[in-house]
Amino acid sequence: MSRLTIALDIMGGDNGPHIIFPAALTALQQTPHLHFIFCGPLNVMSLWLNQQLPNIQARITLSDCPQIVTMDDAPTHALRYKKNSSMRRVLDLVDKNEADACVSGGNTGALICMAYYVLKTLPGIDRPALITLVPTINNGKVYFLDLGANINCDSEVLFQYAVMGSVLAEQISHIKQPRVALLNVGSEDIKGNDQVKQTSRLLTDSQNINYIGYVEGNDIFSQKADVIVTDGFAGNIALKSWEGLVNFAIQEFKKASQHNLWSKIVANIAMPLFRGIYLRMKPDQYNGASLIGLRGIVVKSHGNASSEAFLYAIREAIQQVEMQVPDKIKGKIEAVLMERHE
């Protein structure tokens, strides 16, 4: 198998190199043809690399980046003034075909803004989307987009999102004719705003998309669809509110468990049960997200990701390279646009 190169933003995320190095090491052990380009401050990276075995050292290239995009940087500020940052470098490497994909856990807004500027969208795609896999009942999963890459989505953009989500479900999750739904405030035809209604008509008319109609907020976790499309405003608010709700549940659990000695004992016994559920409830933290619709592969790990979650993001990048996701999206959108002109 030919060499597969992924550029890693070593300084992205709250936990930085500390969690990224171990994840990279595991990925190298699991995938023999994998190579990394680490982007970050040279001293931090070489200190770690010098301690590794020679066969590992041979599979990692270091790219010195004196600048760091912080979580507080405004996207436009990062774009203009942080051209030597680790985040920008990973995107430049993908743009120059020196890396097949990149992974960053840094400032999401800055990453979207920079990636859009550096990599540009694929032909036929107006805007990139941020997509994640959300767990559902019965061990299922649903692709959910947009998580906030684009808050003003017209029907054409929402339609393109449906196409892209469908490609990911087909290529990465190997679902034949994935069921695509639009998120709406009701399941009847008359419901929804103009963008949603117009998108529904576009999707109904397309032979290339297995469109199943509207779903509501409570259907997201119910396995009714394989892909759920919404605009970045509602999508971002929904996703972040789940994180808030899960944190709230944790607080309630802690509070309830402090009630008396018996509740303390019960809480301790029940903790593993809770923990398993908790981990499944925080989809983006665990799965990360992908920025799709661009001419290159960009995977966004959660800012607060663990080493395990960062490894998951690396694996996602590998899969997207192997399945040639950007090419597949390009092909599908071409087919859909052709269909319209017939």
By the criterion CB under 8 A, which residues form the site for a copy of itself? Answer: 74, 109, 135-137, 148, 151-152, 183, 185-186, 188, 190, 192-194, 216-222, 230, 232-234, 236-249, 251-253, 256-257, 263, 266-267, 269-270, 273, 276-277, 280-281
State how far the Cα of 221 lies from the Cα of 238, in Å rounded to an integer: 12
Q: How far is the CB of 317 from a copy of itself (least distance, A)?
A: 25
Q: Are 169 and 185 in contact (CB under 8 A)?
A: no
Q: How far is the CB of 70 from a copy of itself (least distance, A)?
A: 13
Which residue, 287, 240, 29, 324, is CA-closest to 135? Answer: 287
Minimum CB distance to a copy of itself smaller for 105 or for 326: 105
Q: In what order do the strands lie in the sheet with 34-40?
A: 60-64, 34-40, 4-9, 101-104, 297-300, 289-292, 129-136, 140-145, 227-229, 179-183, 210-215
Q: Are 224 and 187 in contact (CB under 8 A)?
A: no
Q: How far is the CB of 246 from a copy of itself (least distance, A)?
A: 8
Q: How far is the CB of 283 from a copy of itself (least distance, A)?
A: 10
Minimum CB distance to a copy of itself smaller for 187 or for 307: 187
- Tally the C-alpha atoms within 13 A of residue 151's C-alpha that lie toward its C-beta: 6
Minimum CB distance to a copy of itself smaller for 140 or for 331: 140
- How do 4-9 and 101-104 pair as beta strands? parallel
Minimum CB distance to a copy of itself smaller for 84 or for 263: 263
Q: How far is the CB of 201 from a copy of itself (least distance, A)?
A: 18
Minimum CB distance to a copy of itself smaller for 64 or for 216: 216
Q: How many residues does the chain have?
A: 342
Which residue, 117, 107, 96, is CA-closest to 37? Answer: 96
Minimum CB distance to a copy of itself smaller for 47 or for 74: 74
State how far the Cα of 229 lies from the Cα of 11, in Å rounded to an integer: 31
Q: How far is the CB of 269 from a copy of itself (least distance, A)?
A: 5
Q: What are 131's two structure tokens?
A: 């997509």
